[in-house]
Each structure stands twice: as C-alpha cells, then as structure tokens.
C-alpha cells in the first residue's frame, strides 16, 4: 500500500495569497512559494498509509472551533539562530481561536497516532526558502522594505487535510484530501 505525505493547513483566499506572492522579488538564493501553495500549516503529519489517512480524517471531522478573523502581516526569517532558511509573513497576535484550532487538531491526530512528533507552533505563511548562498545585505533590505507589510485579514471558516507530492527540482504539488468547516 502506498504512503501519502500529509499535513493539516489553512489556505487563505486568493486575494490574500496574491498579495503574499507579490512580495516575491529578485533575491539571490531565494526560491519563492508558488501562489497556489501559500498556506498556514497547523500540523505536519508525514508519510501515512491509506488506512491511517482515513482514521485521521474521521478524527479531524470532530474538531469544533468557531470561525475567526486572521490578520496577516510583517515578515521574518526562520530559524532565529543560525543561517536563515525560510522567509515568512506572520499573523500578528493572531486570534485565540487559531490556537484553539491547533490544539484540537493536535488532539484529534494524537487520538489516532500517539507517536506523532509534536513540534512548537509559530503560525506563519512561508513566502520562500533560502537555498544555497544568499546575499545578507539584500535579505536585510528585503526585510526592512516589508517590515510594515499587511495583507487583508481574512475569515477562517475551514481547514484542510492535505496530501503533498514532492517532485525533484519542482515545487511540491498539494491536493486536498478533505476539508472541514469550522463550527461550534
């Protein structure tokens, strides 16, 4: 049986993704995220067999969080120590329901597989990845130019269980496995 690489995410509306993608500019060493791939990862799951995938989907269907408004703005780099690898935009102070959603997603996934790695949560949208060498001054200039960046806040009314297909030398392809409406 084939395994599928899974993650749980929030995809912003097209207008927000377009504004985020518009930040891409010539920057040595940057590989920008294609507009259709821009998302906020709630939880990375990893390689999963079909039977386990169905169990994750059934458990995620029980998540209950009310819809909320999510701000989008600012730029930064990950990791905070060592060489930068990711250029991101954040969600400001976010909304408490984002953290409730993350907690319930974690609980739903752990109910199926208690061995999943639980990493810390720094909500963000990945704008690009830094590959190879990059010009520190150009990167600093990019961050300074966009530090006050804001995209329109948007209403989060659903989240998705996603499958990721990695192809060497190309951006990954993402396919929704199942989308869940937020509700009480």
Confidence of residue 14 (pLDDT cuts 50, 70, 90): very high
Residue 1 predicted with pLDDT over 70 = no
**Mean local confidence (pLDDT), 26-50:** 94
**Block residue for tokens 């600012």:** 74
* Residue ranges covered by each domain of the chain: 3-181
Residue 167 predicted with pLDDT over 90 = no
- Provide the pLDDT for residue 19: 97
What is the second-level CATH architecture of the domain 3-181? Alpha-Beta Complex (3.90)
Confidence of residue 151 (pLDDT cuts 50, 70, 90): very high
Query: In whole angstroms, what is the distance from residue 156 CA to residue 101 CA?
Result: 11
Q: Which of 103, 5, 1, 84 is nearest to 48 (CA)?
A: 5
Confidence of residue 70 (pLDDT cuts 50, 70, 90): very high
**Block residue for tokens 């951006």:** 171
Mean of the per-residue pLDDT values for the chain? 93
Q: Which of 124, 133, 110, 132 is nearest to 9 (CA)?
A: 124
Question: Who contacts 87 (Cβ-Cβ below 8 Å, separation ≥6)?
Answer: 30, 75, 76, 77, 126, 127, 128, 129, 130, 139, 142
């Amino acid at each position: 049986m084939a395994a599928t690489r899974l993650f749980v995410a929030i995809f912003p509306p097209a207008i927000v993704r377009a504004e985020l993608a518009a930040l891409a500019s010539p920057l040595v060493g940057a590989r920008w995220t294609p507009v259709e791939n821009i998302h906020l990862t709630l939880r990375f799951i990893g390689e999963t067999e079909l039977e386990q995938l169905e169990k994750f989907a059934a458990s995620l269907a029980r998540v209950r969080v009310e819809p909320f408004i999510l701000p989008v703005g600012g730029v930064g780099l990950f990791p905070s120590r060592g060489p930068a690898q990711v250029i991101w935009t954040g969600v400001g102070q976010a909304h408490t329901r984002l953290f409730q959603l993350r907690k319930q997603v974690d609980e739903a996934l752990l109910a199926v597989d208690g061995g999943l790695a639980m990493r810390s949560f720094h909500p963000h949208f990945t704008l690009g990845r830094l590959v190879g060498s990059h010009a520190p001054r150009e990167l600093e200039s990019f961050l300074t130019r966009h530090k006050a960046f804001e995209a329109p806040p948007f209403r989060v009314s659903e989240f998705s269980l996603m499958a990721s297909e990695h192809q060497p030398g190309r951006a990954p392809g993402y396919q929704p496995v199942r989308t869940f409406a937020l509700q009480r």
